[in-house]
Amino acid sequence: MADPLIMNEPLPDLLRGIAQCATCGVEYDAAAVPAVCPVCADERQYLPPDGVQRWHDPTAGDAGVDVVELEDRLFALRVDGGVGIGQEAKLLVTDDGNVMVDVPAAITAAAVAEVAGLGPLRAIIPSHPHMFGLQTAWSAALGGAPVWIARADAQWLGRTPAGIHLWDGEEKVRPGVVAVQLGGHFPGSAVVHWDGGDHRGVLLSGDTIAPNPDGRTATFMYSYPNRIPLSGHVALRVADGAARFAFDRLYGNFSGAILGDAREAVLASAARHAAWTRGEHDDLTGPAGMCG
């Protein structure tokens, strides 16, 4: 691969031809935008309250992107302003090239330069369609890194990356970095496991497994904004799939994280989720759940 910072074209030129849904921030071909964003029309997301579809021009430059170190060799890309749902992409820095997990719904020349300065980007892996963001622009700006799209979720693409890599199941991304599709939130919903700088393991979970605000537990949902839970059976299946790996920390696709004993927390959280969905704790819910 060539030098990681391509930018042979100015950033605004790379963004021409792209339109973003103003609600979810997912990119589409500007010349063929649908009447309604399919990602938002799906029950896992939502249309604007007034029902009016709005499109955003990413060349407007109305958002910033900060690159923040979370731990040794792991960075977050945090967006300030702009459109979309505000996801926080993660960047793994390895001796064999870097991996972006999930994609910001904004891009700036300064952020591209900072990411490039951390080393060559070898893969961009959105965990699921809500995280597509401006993935074709990030790929083009950073050396044409392949964008890994779960084959099961490719139907949601509104713009096809030049370097698309369709994948299934489990693949080694770089030495010490493995991507695996656990399903649940979307059929192809994926997590990325990294050995970590301390070799204790880190799981980048998107919202296949979402860390809760308490920092000690996780949740398993079909739709997060619309509060549709996965069944207990699927939650256990997803957790067991993740638990094949050793990991001490877990980072979601927003600012949430579990910063210790994360593997055990995921398994315990799935067991709790399953117990509640089976009705084992209905006695705790008030008069309607009591017998007699």
Angle between the N-to-C axes of helices 262-277 and 232-242, in degrees from 0 to 180, rounded to the nearest 10: 170
Q: Which pLDDT score is estimated for 135?
A: 98
Computed over every residue of the chain, the mean pLDDT equals 95
Choose between 292 and 256: higher pLDDT: 256
CB of 217 closer than 8 Å to CB of 246: no
Distance from C-alpha of 199 to C-alpha of 243, rounded to nearest angstrom: 16
Per-residue pLDDT reduced to its tens digit, 151-187:
999 999 999 999 999 999 999 999 999 999 999 999 9
Percent of the chain scoring above 90 in pLDDT:
93
What is the β-pairing status of strands 63-71 and 74-81?
A: antiparallel
Residues 215-220 have a mean pLDDT of: 98
Residues 105-125 have a mean pLDDT of: 97
Q: Which pLDDT score is estimated for 2?
A: 36
Q: Which of 197, 204, 4 is nearest to 89 (CA)?
A: 204
pLDDT at 292 over 80: no
How confident is residue 8, by pLDDT bands cut at 50, 70 and 90?
A: low
Residues 15-38 have a mean pLDDT of: 97
Handedness of CA 94, 98, 102, 107 (dihedral sign): positive
pLDDT at 43 over 60: yes
Region for residue 81 given its phi and psi (left: phi exceeds 0; alpha: psi -120 to 50; beta: otherwise): left
Q: Which domains are delineated in the chain?
A: 11-277 (3.60.15.10)
**How would you list the strands of the sheet with 257-258, edge to edge?**
170-174, 177-181, 190-194, 202-206, 249-252, 257-258
Q: Which pLDDT score is estimated for 265?
A: 98
Distance from C-alpha of 34 to C-alpha of 116, rounded to nearest angstrom: 33
- E strands, the chain, where? 18-21, 27-29, 55-56, 63-71, 74-81, 89-92, 98-101, 121-125, 147-150, 164-167, 170-174, 177-181, 190-194, 202-206, 210-211, 218-219, 221-223, 228-229, 249-252, 257-258
pLDDT at 209 over 90: yes
CB of 70 closer than 8 Å to CB of 76: yes
pLDDT at 132 over 80: yes
Distance from C-alpha of 59 to C-alpha of 193, rounded to nearest angstrom: 34
Distance from C-alpha of 143 to C-alpha of 175, rounded to nearest angstrom: 20
Least confident of 2-6, 79-83, 89-93, 283-287: 2-6
Q: Which pLDDT score is estimated for 290?
A: 55
Q: What is the DSSP letter of 139?
A: H
- What phi and psi, each to the nearest 5 degrees, are found at residue 170? -140, 135
Question: How far is CA 185 from each of CA 222, 264, 289, rounded to the nearest angstrom?
Answer: 4, 21, 29
Q: Which pLDDT score is estimated for 75?
A: 98
Residues 32-45 have a mean pLDDT of: 97
Q: Residue 48: count other Cβ atoms within 10 Å of its Cβ.
A: 13
Reported pTM? 0.94
Q: Residue 164: count other Cβ atoms within 10 Å of its Cβ.
A: 16
Per-residue pLDDT reduced to its tens digit, 230-289:
999 999 999 999 999 999 999 999 999 999 999 999 999 999 999 999 999 999 999 865
CB of 209 closer than 8 Å to CB of 221: no
Distance from C-alpha of 278 to C-alpha of 282, rounded to nearest angstrom: 9
How confident is residue 10, by pLDDT bands cut at 50, 70 and 90?
A: confident
